[in-house]
Chain A
């Protein structure tokens, strides 16, 4: 339920409506739009007495974890709402044995490949090259290549394996994204180079980068334990490799 700014509510319904699964909602928010400043910029999550509070300068949300009912006060901008959703989903996914990864995601022949890298490692560059190779902004499923996101990818653990979900969360490419899920094909530790090359990496290297790329604003030890459990499960269930790629073209796709 939205209150206070019909234009903002319309914009949000239009932006995120396609990602609604159509099932009975797990969380139900009363949203009150109010002018708020973005600072502090980093979200904080606190769980106390059966409710969770997600707070940043431009939003403040309290949810009853038992009933799923919540109140959200938020600045009436799409950027604020996007940040709120990212914060909320990062928390939900970790609790459910999944995670949100700061990464590029590409679907090739029905499987999702996740490219992990620190800032500047080439996630956006790689995503743009993959999209360009298919001739349209987010790739084209008919050609077997589709970019899921150049910034954030959502993973869930379902029936013994991980699946990657499409999302509205994008970086520089600013695509709309689409609803859907794909089985994980593999993970790559990303590095820009003068030539395309695939190599091995140790599990420790993979884990270090995985933990660095895993989005988590909840500082509780319980969540830290869940993060370690999910990371260990990812390492056990998926193949991790090192990918050096050149920004000349999308030739790296042949190595994926």
Chain B
């Protein structure tokens, strides 16, 4: 189960999602499918729910949405913005 790292502040402003990691003084900006994926994880949605959101919002096929989700969550884990509750 993927979770957003504790102690991050985030907000959607002007079509983009801004994430502030105050402890590291870092600002991250997400838009498009990345912002939808982030908001899906933040609201506790599972993989199929997030894929469904991407498919309906960006008019892509399910295979593309699944690949986007896998690639982006891997990137977020690498950057330490997500944690894997199962590991």
Write the residues of chain A forming the contact surface with B, with a CB cutoff of 8 angstroms: 202-204, 207-208, 211, 218-225, 227-229, 231-232, 235
A220 touches B13 (CB 8 A): no
Q: Judging by beta carbons under 8 Å apart, are A208 and B7 in contact?
A: no
Known: A204-B16, A207-B18. A229 touches B23 (CB 8 A): no
Please name the 8 residue pairs, one residue from A and one from B, whose CB atoms are nearest each other, closest first: A203-B14, A224-B9, A224-B22, A225-B9, A224-B20, A221-B7, A228-B11, A219-B22
A-B contact count (CB 8 A): 52
Known: A219-B23, A221-B22, A227-B20. A204 touches B14 (CB 8 A): yes
- The reply to whether A228 and B9 contact each other, CB–CB distance below 8 Å, is yes
Size category of the binding interface on chain B: 10 to 19
A226 (CB) vs chain B CBs: closest residue: B9
Asked if A232 contacts B11 (CB within 8 A), the reply is yes
A-B contact pairs, 20 of them (CB 8 A): A203-B13, A203-B14, A203-B15, A204-B29, A207-B14, A207-B16, A208-B29, A211-B18, A219-B22, A219-B23, A221-B7, A222-B9, A224-B22, A225-B11, A228-B13, A228-B18, A229-B11, A232-B11, A232-B13, A235-B13
B22 in contact with A220 (CB, 8 Å): yes
- Chain B positions 61-75 with a Cβ under 8 Å from a chain A Cβ: none
Tell whether, in the assembled complex, residue A207 and residue B9 are in contact, meaning their CB atoms are under 8 Å apart.
no
In whole angstroms, how far apart are the Cα atoms of A229 and B9 in the complex? 10
Main secondary structure of the interface of B (DSSP, over half): strand
User: Which B residues are CB-close (under 8 A) to A231?
Assistant: 13
Residues of chain A within 8 A of B15, CB atoms compared: 203-204
Q: How near does chain A come to B25, taking the closest CB pair, in angstroms?
A: 8
**Chain A residues whose CB sits within 8 angstroms of the CB of B11 once the complex forms:** 225, 228-229, 232
B8 touches A221 (CB 8 A): yes
Alpha-carbon gap, A224 to B22, bound state (A): 6
**Of B7, B10, B25, which is within 8 A of A228 by CB?**
B10
Residue A235 contacts which of B9, B14, B23, B27 (CB distance < 8 angstroms)?
B14
| Docked CA distance A202–B31 (Å) | 14
Chain B residue at minimum C-beta to C-beta distance from A231: B13
Q: How far is the CB of A229 from chain B (nearest CB, A)?
A: 7
B20: chain A residues at CB < 8 Å are 211, 224-225, 227-228
The docked-state distance in angstroms from the alpha carbon of A132 to that of B1 is 62
Residues of A within 8 A of B25 (CB): 219
A220 neighbours in B (Cβ, 8 Å) = 7, 22
> Cβ of B9 and Cβ of A221 under 8 Å apart?
yes
A224 contact set on B, CB distance < 8 A: 8-9, 20-22
Which of chain B's residues has its CB closest to A225's CB? B9
A231 and B9 alpha carbons, distance in the complex (Å): 13
